[in-house]
Structure formats: C-alpha cells, structure tokens
Amino acid sequence: MIKQDELRVASLGECRFSSPLDFSSPAHPSESYFRCDDDRVQMKIRFRSGAAETESVSAEEAGPRKKIYFDPAESTAAIVTCGGLSPGLNNVVRSVYHEASENYGVARVLGVRNGYLGLNPQSGLAPVEITREFVEPIDKIGGTVLGSSRGPQDPDVMADFLQSHNIDMLFCLGGDGTQRGAHALSEELLRRKAPIAVVGIPKTIDNDVPFVRLSFGFTTALEKAAEVIRGAHVEARDAINGISVVKLMGRHAGFIAAGASVVSQEVDFTLVPEVAFPLDGDGGLLDSLERRMRDRGHAVIVVAEGAGQHLFQTAEQRRDNSGNLLHDDIGQFLRQRIAEHFAEQHFPVAIKYIDPSYHIRSVPANVYDRYLCDQMARHAVHAAMAGKTGAMIGFEHNLYIHVPIPVIAKQTKKMEVTGDLWRAVLEATSQPRW
C-alpha cells in the first residue's frame, strides 16, 4: 500500500527563472497551459456509491511550470539509453532534444553512448553532441543511435562524470534496472548537494512498469507479434498435424502474449506468467492440445517468456547484468515436451518453433508509440527544467505524472486474470480456465 508521503518528488530548490514557454493569449491564459505542484492526479478514480469514503493517494501532475530551476542559456542536458531495445527509443531522443533545445533554449544537449557504461571514463566513450542534423532522420529507424548496454555503474563515478562535463540534467531511458541506477545516481548527487536533475523515462516493451498505463513500444510489439502469429497459423494450418509454438516477450507479465492473441484471433493456447498452467494429466496443456489436434488438425500456442517457470527445477536464481531474473527457456521446453507427448501417442505432428523477440523489439515505432514517445520526452524535459530529480514520468488516466523512482521499485504490474483482457483471451482461444 503506497502512502502519500512516498509520492513526494524531490526538488533541487527554488525555481527562480521564468519559463520561456509562455503561449498565453486573451483566449488562452497561461494558467491553462502551466501546471504547479499542487495539481494532483488521484491514483484511484473508481468508487462505489454509498460505500465508506476511502483515502486515495495522488501523484504530482507533470507538465511545464511557470518558474523553472535552470537558466536554459547556461544549461547542458544529456540523454542515456540503457537495457534491451524497444521501439521508440530514437523518437524519445529526438523529442528530448527538440523540447530542450528548440523550445526551452538549452545551450547544449549531449548523448551518452552505450548506456551507463558511457558515464564511466574508463570506457573511453566520449559523449556525442546532439544537434538538429543529428536527430533529423533517427525517428524513422529502430534501436537507439546512442547505443545501449546492461549493468550498473558506480554512482560516485557517474556523478563525477556529470560534474566534470558540466551536465545539469540527465534523462535516463530504461526499465526497472535503469531506473534503480538513476535513483542511486540522484541520491549521490543530492548527498553532494550537486544541482543536477536526474529524470527517468520508462522503457519496457512488456508494459510492466507500475504507474504507466501504456509504455512506449508496447502497441508496436502487439502489431508485430500479431503479424508473426498470423504466419504461424498459416504454417500450422497448411502442414499435416501442424503445431506452431510462438514465444513472445513478457518476463513477469503476459500483456504482449495476451494482447497479441486477442488481436490475431488465431491462437489456441495462450500461456502467461500470471497463470500456472498444468502440463501433464487430464485437462493439462498436453492433454488439451491433443484433443484440439484430433478435433481440428492444427494448433497455435503463444507463450510469454516468463510463463511456466514452475515446471523447471532450477537450483538457484540467475540474474543478468541489470539485475533482472533470468528465466529458463519455456519455448524450447514446450517444443520438446510436445514432441515427446505425441511420439508416445504414435501421433505424428509437424512442430514449428518461432521466437521473433529480437525482430519485434528492433523495429521502428508505430504511429501511436511515436506520439507516446514524444509526450513522455517533453514531460521529462519539463520536470528536469523545474528541478525535479529522482523521479520518473508516469502515465495514468491519460495524464502524465511525476513518480518518485523508489515507489516504482516497490510495485509490480501484472495482468489481471479477472479482467477483460484475460477473459477475451479465454473466449478467443477456448482454452481451459486453469
């Protein structure tokens, strides 16, 4: 349970400069554009009429402030992209540059190369100067022009780097591991009383970051995953006793697998981390798959990478360089167990295994994600210019908010198996309600 005090956003100090973003006119006063720290967004907006009143915590609404902390003409901003790829990273870089440089008039914008590694002088990776010419074509391509890497760096070393390069604000694009690193860095800078703002922009193709209703790259992933499923269905349908197994992203949450299954309407079984499905026995996956094959002659299985981990006997937990839990390969495991099961039944099947994860995450963002990237980027610049630090841009109830990074680490976002999305999956697949 999040308490109101935990949603208090750290600030570098008094905002003394007038914002250059004054678009006021007689028909549109400035108050309709600017936000203040007293503008709040309630986290829970639903209530039951007649029920006892319950306290609802609220978050600070994001947006431009009338007064800002930094003098744009004397300021330097920097951008870093970390972790795995996601559609839209270049769009965020482009929009951060344009908002900071073109609208606020920030003197200099730098790009940190290869993630947090580029904040360590021992890497030999000098930051790149970001210009209008540099960002002009990058929104049309996938990946990140700044490069990326996994793993943390010493906050002391990163703080030294920022101070030595006279960087006033750092925008950190990444998932939970990246945001943990951003928080550690902001804490070190506050300890030093260094006036440097650190603002996070959430990047997760899995859509599993708390306080972010939709993360950029997610709708692109659904679109591309649905295309893959369509091809998998054709492969299964046109083979003799064809079975296609498609493994999609989703370490802890099944949003992509579920959403793509609903979009495609061509999936027979959708397996997600939120549902511990049985593999063997009456009514288990293998039994249900055999019945489906005998009835229809083909089947498509979509499995999220974090599904079915209860089926493995792993001695110890393994983590990657970012601290993310490494999962056993459920896709290859299912492929083997399915082959063994039908061989025991003397039922010949043609199994196609498809893992499009690297393709999906490396493509350019679609139209909606491009818009979302732009808005996330601009609100991050507004936050940094106002001296906010140790915070991430959130997105709830179609409003952008400031969320202290430690609150993100305390929460987990998973798909509600009692919600409409999972019910739509069950209806589309007709799979057992395990």
What pLDDT, on the 0 to 100 scale, is given for residue 411?
A: 82
Phi, psi values for residue 416, rounded to 5°: -80, 115
pTM for the whole thing? Answer: 0.92
Is 206 one of the annotated active-site residues of the chain?
Answer: yes
Decide if 110 contacts 146 (C-beta within 8 A): no
Structure tokens at 61: 């609404």
pLDDT score recorded for residue 412:
83
3-state secondary structure labels for all residues of 320-353: CCCCCEECCCHHHHHHHHHHHHHHHCCCCCEEEE
Residues pairing with 390 in the sheet? none
Instruction: Pick the catalytic residue from 206, 208, 355, 374.
Output: 206
- Torsion over CA: 416, 417, 420, 421 (sign): positive
Angle, alpha carbons 137-143-149 (nearest 5°): 130
Burial of 266 from C-beta contacts in 10 A (0-12 / 13-18 / 19+): buried
pLDDT of residue 30: 61
Mean pLDDT for back-to-back runs of 10 residues, the chain (434 residues): 89 96 74 86 77 76 96 98 95 98 97 97 96 95 95 96 98 93 96 97 93 94 97 97 97 96 97 96 96 97 96 69 71 97 97 96 96 97 98 95 91 91 97 94
- Coil vs helix vs strand at 371: helix
Q: Which domains does the chain have, with CATH numbers?
A: 4-215+365-410 (3.40.50.450), 218-362 (3.40.50.460)
Give dist(CA 314, CA 306) in Å, integer. Answer: 14
